[in-house]
Amino acid sequence: MNKGSGIGVGSSSIILVFAVLCLSVFSLITLVVAENSKALADSEYYLVTGYYETDAAAKRVLTEVLATGIPPETALGVDIDSEWDGLRDAYVVRYICPFPASERYQNVERFLHVEVALGIDSYEILRWQMRDESEWVADQGMNVWIPDEGEFGFWPDLDDFGDF
């Protein structure tokens, strides 16, 4: 009988199965990371394009307000609030432009708040701020266990250690 030494057929099959398993796991991880990256990129795309659409609408309203001289009550369908500010010797104009709606962010309410001081021959932007005004709702889905007082008597009382 000829008994040879070396790697047998069984060990090479095990190595091959292990290699295929590793490649399968790594390809699955790559797929999940790619899907998550695409979802993040889509979300960022929505936020950036929505901001610039809102910003452009706010600039169109500001241009309409500047063209009239005296602040109107509405411009391009946007309600305008104005009051005379004696310290600045100018009208302070405030208006809000809504962020475009999206199916993905149905419960999110974002607005661009604009506040401008209109002088006789100049204007100053006091505030140009995007704000999220949706109501924050806490996640109630995760049950966190909080021990009752005295349930774990073996834990030391921190008062026994004095000042740290």
Which tokens belong to 58?
């706010």
Average pLDDT over residues 87-94: 89
Per-residue pLDDT tens for 143-164?
776 666 655 555 556 665 666 5
CA distances from 41 to 35, 52, 100, 101, 145 (A): 10, 16, 18, 18, 36
Q: Quick one: pLDDT at residue 153? A: 56
CB-based contact 116:126 (threshold 8 Å): yes
Answer whether residue 156 is part of any domain: no
Query: Across residues 57-83, what is the average pLDDT?
Result: 88
In our burial notation (b when 16+ CB lie closer than 10 A, e otherwise), range 104-130 reads: ebeeeebebebebbbeeeebeeeeeeb
In a domain, 95, yes or no: yes
Structural domain including 28 reads 17-136
Count how many domains the chain has: 1
- 3-state SS assignment for residue 103: coil
Query: Which pLDDT tens digit goes with each residue over 124-142?
Result: 999 999 988 777 777 777 7
Q: How many percent of the chain have pLDDT more than 70?
A: 79
- Position 150 in a domain: no
